[in-house]
Amino acid sequence: MKKELKPTKHYGGAIEVPGDKSIAHRAVLLSLLAKENIEIINFPNNQDCNSSLSAVEALGVNVERSDSIISLTPPEKLDTTEDKIIDCGNSGTTARILAGIIAGSEISTTLSGDESLSSRPMKRIISPLTEMGAELFADENDTLPMKINGKKLLPFEYRLPVASAQVKSSVLLAGLASSCSVRVIEDVITRDHTELMVEHLGEGLEVRVIKAELVEDPNDPRKKKMIMPEDFKKEIKTSSQTKIIGGRVDIPGDISTAAFFLAGAAISKQTVTVAHLGLNPTRTAFLTHLKTIGCKVVISDKETVSGELRGTVTVTGAELKVKKISGSTTVGLIDEIPIVAVIAAFTEGTTVIRNAAELKVKESDRLQAVADNLRLAGIKCGLLEDGLAIEGGTEFSGADFKSFGDHRIAMAFTIASLFAVGPSSIDDASVVDISCPEFYELLGKVTKA
C-alpha cells in the first residue's frame, strides 16, 4: 500500500503508544511453562505479537480476549501432535525464544516463517541448544523452517558470544522448560525483560550484576582504583527449582515505537510527551542519545508495575549536535538506529555509526536500506562495513522512499518526510502493522494543526 506523505506545518502534542513488543512476547510465551493463568493488560495488537499468541494457542494454551485484556490458560500438557508446524510470521523473537522452550519440552515441532524471517540467522540459537542436548534441524544456511525435537536437556553454562537478549532468553527458557540448571554470562548487558518477567511471574531465578569496586592500588597504597571483580558484566542462573507460576502483567508503552515520535520533536525543535512509557534501563539509550545531541528530556511520574519501570517522557528539540555512536551505545540503540540516522541527516556535521553489523540481518539489511533512502533525499551517506557515515545539515528533499518490507524503515522515513522539502511517499506503509498498526493514527495526533 503506497502512501503519499507531505511536510507538516505543525508538530507536537501528547500521545500514548501501544504496549511494549518485547515484554508482550515474553508474557505470552511464558504461558507455555506456567502453572496458572497469565493475564495481560495493554497487549499490543500487532502482527509480531499475534504470531506469539497463535504459537502458544497451537501448542494448547487457551487464549481469551476481552477489550485490552488477554487471558492465557496453560494446558495440563503441551500439544504433542506429530508434524505440527508453527508459523512465526515475521517475528524473530517468537521463533528464537519459542525454539528454546520447545527444545526443553520433549515435544517435536517445526517452526516456519515468512520470507523475511526465513532469511534470518538461527545458528546463534541452534548452537547452544544443541550443546544442551536438543535436536534442531534447519537448512544448510541455518534458517527456517527448523524442526525441533525437544528432550530432557543437560545442565549448561554459556557465555554469550554476541549481545543478544533473544539468544539469552532462548537458552534460559530451554533450561527452565527442562528443569535443568543453566548459567548465562554476559559481557555486554542486554535487555533484561525475560529475567524481570520470570521474577514477576515465578520464582527461583538468580541474577547478579557485576559492579566495579574501589580497592587499594597495589602499586601505591596511598591511592585507590576501580576494578571489576569478575571478567564479565552479568550472570543469570536457573535451577531445577526455577518455575513460572502465573499472574498479571501490565505492559508499559513501547519505547522503541515512541522513539519515532520523539525524534520528530528533536528535528522540529518542538515538544512531544508520551505517557505510561516503558523506562527499563536497558532500553533508554535513545533518551540518553537525545540528551547528548542537545534535546531537553524530562521524565516524570515514575513507577514500577509488573516488574518494569515506566513514566511520562517529554522531549523538546533544540539545535542538534553531532555524536559518534559505537560499542555498547550501538547495542543499546540497535532498534532505533534507523531513526537515529534520520535525525543525523537533519544535524549539521557528520555522524558516524559503528558496530552495527547486526542490522544487516534484521527484517531488511537496515544499513543498506537507510543509506539508499537517505541518498534518495539528497543526503550524503557512506555505507561502512559495520555502520554508516551521514553528512547532515543540507536540504532534505522529498522522495519516493522504500520500506524494504521493514516496519522500522517505513516509520523512520515517514518521520523524515514530515520535515522534507517537497512531497514524499513510502512504497508500502502497511508494513508498520508488524509492530504498530496505530502508527499513522498516532502521527495524525502530533501533526494536527
Q: pLDDT tens, 49-102?
A: 999 999 999 999 999 988 778 999 999 888 877 779 999 999 999 999 999 999
The Cα 41–Cα 20 span in angstroms is: 11
Q: Where are the domains of the chain?
A: 3-19+252-447, 21-250
Flag whether pLDDT at 301 surpasses 60.
yes
Going by pLDDT thresholds of 50, 70 and 90, the confidence category of residue 449 is low
All three cell numbers of 258: 515512541
116 Cβ contact list (under 8 Å, min separation 6)? 90, 363, 364, 405, 406
Active site residues: 335
Cis? peptide before 229, omega within 30° of 0: no
Backbone φ/ψ region at 354: left (φ over 0), alpha (ψ -120 to 50), beta: beta
Flag whether pLDDT at 444 surpasses 90.
yes
What mean pLDDT is predicted for residues 184-191? Answer: 96
DSSP-derived pairing of the beta strands 84-87 and 206-209: unpaired
- In the numeric block, the cell 490458560 is attached to 73
Q: Which CATH number fits domain 21-250: 3.40.50.2300, 3.40.228.10, 3.65.10.10, 1.10.10.10?
A: 3.65.10.10
**DSSP SS3 for 314:** strand
Q: What is the pLDDT, as a whole number, of residue 224?
A: 87
> How is residue 212 annotated by DSSP?
-
Give percent helix, percent strand, percent coil of the chain, each to the nearest 5: 35, 30, 40
150 Cβ contact list (under 8 Å, min separation 6)? 102, 103, 104, 105, 106, 107, 108, 109, 134, 177
CATH number listed for the domain at residues 3-19+252-447: 3.65.10.10
The Cα 322–Cα 419 span in angstroms is: 19
pTM attached to this predicted model: 0.96
All three cell numbers of 315: 522531549
Longest dimension (CA), the chain: 69
